[in-house]
Amino acid sequence: MILTFGLLLSNERVQAQSRGIFVPYSTAGFGIGTSSYFGDFAPYRRPLASTFYMMRWSVGGNYTRHFTPRLAARASFIYGRIAGDDYIMNRSSKYENSVFYARNQHFRNDLKEFSVQGIFKLIPDNRSYDRRPQFGAYLFAGIALTAHNPKALDSLNGDWVKLQPLGTEGQGNEGYRKPYSLVQFAIPLGIGVRYKINSKLDVSAELGFRKTFTDYLDDVAGNYADPALFADNPTALAVQNRSANQFATRKGADRTESIRKFLISNYNLDSNDPLATLPTTGYGAPGTPRGYSPKYKDNYMFGMIHINYMLPSQIKCPPLK
């Protein structure tokens, strides 16, 4: 029975190729690469800095089914880290007088993304995988489900703490927003190129942008909350507003002189103790903006290199005796 079935499949494949009919095939791939984030810590008006200053890593695997010479579908899992830091993004003299530098926040977030994508090949395959072109290019789009959990460094004990349970913008309290979800939908959009190593292996490079529907990948979106909400939680109190802190938490740099320049530039105030003067201006007061891009959601991007293996498309038959 197995022998007969295998012979039939092999015969059908040969006949399909002889008639010039495309034979569907599947691939399995593994990739490594980079991740970048765009949001309150990485604005779109500074695309190069936002893409490269806080670039982090990503790894993933996928299964792809090629249905026609131009169309395929892919199931993919990617684990990647994104990060942002007001000090790193704004420490140059050009930006140190900005509200972003004064905010002094940072985060990191490990994303676990599962997606289903459709692929359109700009250069079509030939009638079988082993006759595919040496080079290929493709577009992809789909839908993704992403689990995330933003964290920040607690200056009190040096640990990375989960921010969502702390309600840093008052979430969960009366008069404030409800806590944000740690599972979000996203839309992957991207482009890739492929090179045929041999009949069984490809290497591909792709850049994929993810459009999300949340502004809380970085835990920053709304306004500063009343610090009285955190009276019984010193960790939450410490991380929800760092604007008057002398040091940048992750890098340990002294911010005193830069805050003095910030006060002169924005409030026409010169002070011998700028960190104590800053709160008197109303900066960081309850109800004032903590996030500064209300029109835009947080988004992220993966750049990955994959090795793709052509999976067997038929049952191998035992030799006839």
Q: What is the pLDDT of residue 294?
A: 66
Angle (nearest 5°) at CA 102 between 100 and 104: 80
Q: What is the pLDDT of residue 156?
A: 79
Q: What is the pLDDT of residue 157?
A: 83
Q: What is the pLDDT of residue 305?
A: 98
CA distance 107 to 97: 21
Q: What is the pLDDT of residue 317?
A: 52
Q: What is the pLDDT of residue 321?
A: 53
CA distance 175 to 66: 52
CA 232 to each of CA 2, 172, 228, 248, 249: distance values in angstroms, whole numbers, following the listed order: 70, 15, 9, 24, 22
Q: What is the pLDDT of residue 292?
A: 83
Name the residue type at position 47.
P
> Do residues 105 and 64 make contact, with C-beta atoms less than 8 angstroms apart?
no
Tokens 């030939």 appear where?
126
Q: Which DSSP symbol is given to 292?
A: S
CA distance 218 to 298: 8
Q: What is the mean pLDDT of each run of 10 residues along the chain (321 residues)?
A: 43 50 95 97 93 97 97 98 96 91 97 98 92 96 98 90 97 95 98 96 98 96 96 95 95 95 94 95 95 84 98 62 53
Q: What is the pLDDT of residue 320?
A: 54
DSSP codes, 61-100: EEEEEE-SSSEEEEEEEEEEEEEEEHHHHH-STTTTTSHH
CATH architecture of 26-310: Beta Barrel (2.40)
Question: What predicted TM-score, i.e. pTM, was given to this entire model?
Answer: 0.89
